Amino acid sequence: MSRILERVGLPLLRQVDPERAHGLALSALRLGLAPLPGPVTSPRLATDLAGLALPNPVGLAAGFDKNAEAVDPLARAGFGFVEIGAVTPKPQPGNPRPRLFRLAEDRAAINRFGFNNDGMEAVATRLETRKSGVPLGVNLGANKDSDDRAADFATVLRRLGPFVDFATVNVSSPNTERLRDLQGRAALAALLDGVMAARDALDRPIPVFLKVAPDLDDAGLADVAAVALDAGLSAVIATNTTLSRDGLASPHAAEAGGLSGQPLFDRSTRVLARLSAETGGAIPLVGVGGVASADQAFEKIRAGASAVQLYTGLVYGGLSLGARIAEGLDKLLAARGFASVRDAVGTGREDWT
């Protein structure tokens, strides 16, 4: 019944302002009106990511549930893991509206939210009542007006670390001025020193991931790989949204912000493969950017990803897309003769480098 409601509701949601539609989707989750099949799994799909046991490698990227409003239903929506946020120390409204645009002609979206969120205290209150489920992560952000943005990441980790299973350092959003400057080798190394010290001080130290931009050149990617390995990070997420506007057909193409969805797939997969080559498989990678089908998830895995995440694809495919991709990936792995996801990781990296 819930998938029937989804098929009826999706066209209606596309007639509504995108940000309002996003809020309605979260409400549908909380009310049980969205598909909640439970984690999709099989012996082929079950895998490990940085010590986290995943029922399947298809995760929900940060941005969908910024404020931990629907973590329990999302844990039953078919995903293998879920990431909330980005969360900053203090609440902040983000950039003025409108700040989210559908690019239907391109199966894409542009956002310039600017880390709008309720702040870490409100999120901590919600996470205190979280039920057990698939691994949950938090995307760490910095306040726009912070005097020490690098310290903000450690602050959020100290507050929310006890309630989650992993944390992601997000220095790759294009919507907070000069945030991407923290991806430089020296600045990133110093930032990660503080984050890892905060992680080590937790009663239950958790894996720390780093999310990188798709617009880094080869030298920048080499620096990121070196710093990630030196810092002892548990995984790298490749990638965030892009500032590129190549080949877009939508009238919204000129809007400022980060572009996500189908136009990002090739660019983000090439970055993923490059990072896989730079790290030599020494650190797990999570592939993000344009994943909207089982075939695309499989390509990310072949390029070097141990797991994938999606978000924009849900705008066009509905919340059940995560479960459908996991089910399709299981069939693809079987058809290609892979006994597990792990066996397929990196087998097609040369096609993307």
Active centre residues (catalytic): 173
| Residue 86 among known ligand-binding residues | yes
| Residue 124 among known ligand-binding residues | no
| Residue 261 among known ligand-binding residues | yes
Q: Number of C-alpha atoms within 13 angstroms, CB side, residue 42?
A: 17
| Residue 90 among known ligand-binding residues | no
Q: Number of C-alpha atoms within 13 angstroms, CB side, residue 334?
A: 10
Residue 19 has which token pair?
Answer: 């940000």
Q: Number of C-alpha atoms within 13 angstroms, CB side, residue 94?
A: 23
Q: What is the DSSP letter of 117?
A: B
| Residue 215 among known ligand-binding residues | no
| Residue 258 among known ligand-binding residues | no
| Residue 163 among known ligand-binding residues | no
Question: Where are the extended beta strands (E) located within the chain?
Answer: 47-49, 52-54, 58-60, 81-87, 100-103, 108-111, 136-140, 166-170, 208-212, 235-238, 258-261, 285-288, 307-310
| Residue 85 among known ligand-binding residues | no
| Residue 143 among known ligand-binding residues | no
Report in angstroms the alpha-carbon separations of 72 from 28, 117, 136, 143, 185. 13, 19, 10, 27, 37
| Residue 133 among known ligand-binding residues | no
Which residues define the annotated binding site?
A: 62-66, 86, 111-115, 139, 170, 175, 211, 239-241, 261, 290, 311-312
Residues making up the annotated binding site for FMN are 62-66, 86, 139, 170, 211, 239, 261, 290, 311-312
Detail the residues annotated as belonging to a binding site for substrate. 66, 111-115, 170, 175, 240-241
